[in-house]
Structures are given as C-alpha cells and as structure tokens.
Amino acid sequence: MSVFRWPVRVYWEDTDGGAIVYYANYLRFLERARTEWL
C-alpha cells in the first residue's frame, strides 16, 4: 500500500479562541485530503 501525504496549513480561522483547531474543522481537512487522493 502506498503512502499518501497531504500537508495542510492551519489558519487562524480554523482555530477557536484558545488557538486550538476546532474539532469540526478536521472534517474539512479530511474531505480536502480525500479529494486530493482521488
């Protein structure tokens, strides 16, 4: 099985007030990576 890597930059708009990535945004990252993988 080949390895797929898709580096992503986390922007301020993806974080909450504590500068931690808001959990719902992980779904966006996963969907973008899946689209690139296809």
Q: How confident is the model over 1-38, as pLDDT tens digits?
A: 899 999 999 999 999 999 999 999 999 999 999 999 99
Cα–Cα dist 4/34, whole Å? 10
Residue type, 9: R
Structure tokens at 21: 């990535």
Give me the number of domains the chain comprises.
1
Domain that holds residue 19: 1-38
- pTM of the predicted protein model: 0.68
Query: CB burial class (10 A; 0-12, 13-18, 19+) of residue 25?
Result: middle
Structure confidence at residue 1 (pLDDT): 83
Q: Which residues, at least 6 apart from 12, have a Cβ–Cβ distance to it below 8 Å?
A: 19
Cα–Cα dist 16/32, whole Å? 20
Catalytic, 16? Answer: yes
Catalytic-labelled residue, pool 16, 20, 31, 34: 16
